[in-house]
A and B are shown apart, each in its own frame.
Chain A
Amino acid sequence: MSTAAAANPMPGVTAGAPVYELEGVGKTYARNNLVALEAVNLTLTKGSFSAVIGSSGCGKSTLLKIMAGLIPPSTGRVTLQGRPVTGPRRDIGMMFQQATLFPWRTTIDNIVLPIEIRDGKSAARAARDRARELLELVGLKGFENVYPNELSGGMAQRAAICRMLITEPAVLLLDEPFSALDELSRDFMNMELQRICRSREATAFLVTHSIPEAVILSDVVYVMKPRPGRIAEVIEIDLPRPRTLDMMTTPKFGQLVDKIRSRLDKEAFL
């Protein structure tokens, strides 16, 4: 049953305190009466990295939007750091497939935009030093005053990472953040992401289409099944940390990828 995840949320990953808690979260889109999600239960612990993988249209983005407080769930509830999520919050950082930098703002002004919106212009000015540090962290030092249309796709995504981190969120919700990049940049960005998450003890939740990406980054992989969207399988990834790209050639890695693929294959024909 799909409630397997509920019975024993994240076996083995019990180290940190729970940060995110989802209980019986479901979503029915009223417009077309479509059950996009059904009874999702999951708990993310502090500092953990989880990935959710599933075919297109199985409700991954819907789940992420509910977690981010962008859309309300039809059933169930979401709790973050002890408080129910009822709307967008500054302790949630989010990233999408598109970098969506605004062309009329320089890179640094794009990065401090969340501060400008929440706390006003003077707070945004005060945050510029922090933004510079973040740019350095992602290897974009010297690009502060460049307009986004001069940045490459990978550089734009790195700037988007900075914009997500500027409010110092406790959790990062990532909706296929690097899937528009070429494979080389993507591997590189994934390692960067791991480094950033570790250095800030951030809790991360990644939506992805790529099994190797899910395995190399995560402590836990949730396999979703469609119609209605639900978590069908929870697979623990016990590769040592920090992860390196070399690990992708180990037999253990191959086994985990195969395991997840077999689960996905089955579901694809149901």
Chain B
Amino acid sequence: MNAPQSATETPDAAQDTVWVETVPLIDRIPRSVQMAFVFVVFVALWDVVTRSGLVSAIILPTPWETARDLVFVGRNLITGDYMLRALWTTIKEVIYGFALAIAIGFTLGVIVGETAFGERAIMPYLVAIDTMPKVAFAPLFVAWLGFDIHSKVALAAFIATFPIVVGTAAGLHAADANARMLFKTMGASRWQTLIKLKLLTGLPQIFTGLKIAAVGVMAGAITGEFLGGGKGFGELIRVAASNLNTPRVFSLILYLSIVGLALYAFVTWVQRTFVFWHKDQVLRGAD
């Protein structure tokens, strides 16, 4: 169907059949511009709300105050002052907690995913513990391990272990019947099947578990600091909040989220490197 005016303009048939694909406006704008737009709108709204006196400055600082405090905290971090030491403490808790969670979670995951005994006798307990609100264990960890970094590492690891167990156990079941049968025809031992087939096939699920754990380990460390004191970033946040220094709380949270993001990005990077082969279908067979 050609519009009347274009019919008079171009009589040749080829012109009529050209079907120009219309790209929606939203696809023509770069993603970065769209994200910047959201950011600007968000800050503008924030500014209006705080400036108009709708919300008290103690509850919500203005964007400007927050920015100024961000610079202050950033300077303190760069010059290696007490905030950097606090941040380093928290980073250590996160790293140790994550490493511990990986070691325990992976081992338990293999036991539960590979052995019938683990699946029948151990998994139900893990599921039961996983459904508990794990932060509630924080006072226990403090009582057992003290106010130092250990209790925070323990809580962080405790929270992060379960997603790794679940991811590993699920991953070990991901290899399909054909692949298992093929390994059997090749005379593969149980160990070979585990290493060369099941773990590799399960890597996507294992990494999904690791990513959830990376988020949880952060939450665990900070919760541990809130409830058990210490010298970490969580303690700085707690002190700032009790002094009603809201801009400080905001900027500390922002810097903390950079640590969380970095950990998440690291796990994603490792995944991209090792699971380069993963398309949507795991095994290639017939089309």
Contact = CB atoms under 8 A, between A and B. Distances in A.
Contacts of A116: 196
Interface residues of A, number: 32
Given A100-B178, A104-B277, A151 B284 contact: yes
B279 A117 contact: no
B287 A118 contact: no
Given A94-B185, A101-B284, 18 more contacts: A68-B185, A70-B184, A87-B187, A88-B184, A88-B186, A98-B286, A99-B286, A100-B182, A100-B283, A102-B179, A103-B279, A103-B284, A147-B277, A148-B284, A151-B284, A153-B285, A153-B286, A180-B285
B188 to A, nearest CB: 5
Contact of B277 (A97, A103, A117): A103
A259 interface: no
Chain A facing B: main interface SS: loop
Interface residues of B, number: 23
Contacts of A92: 185
B177 to A, nearest CB: 10
B200 interface: yes
Given A70-B181, A104-B277, A117-B192, A99 B284 contact: yes
B287 A70 contact: no
B183 interface: yes
A96 B186 CA distance: 13
A89 B186 CA distance: 8
A103 B278 CA distance: 7
A257 interface: no
Given A98-B178, A98-B285, A149-B277, A104 B200 contact: yes
A98 B178 CA distance: 7
A113 B195 CA distance: 13
B127 interface: no
A90 interface: yes
Nearest to A151: B284
Nearest to B286: A180
Contact of A118 (B187, B278, B282, B286): B187
A46 B213 CA distance: 58
A100 B179 CA distance: 6
A156 interface: yes
Interface in A57-98: 68, 70, 87-90, 92, 94, 96-98
A35 to B, nearest CB: 22
11 contacts: A98-B285, A98-B286, A100-B285, A103-B279, A103-B282, A116-B196, A117-B183, A117-B188, A117-B192, A117-B196, A181-B286
Contacts of A113: 186, 196
A250 interface: no
Interface string A129-157: 00000000000000000011101110011
A215 B283 CA distance: 32
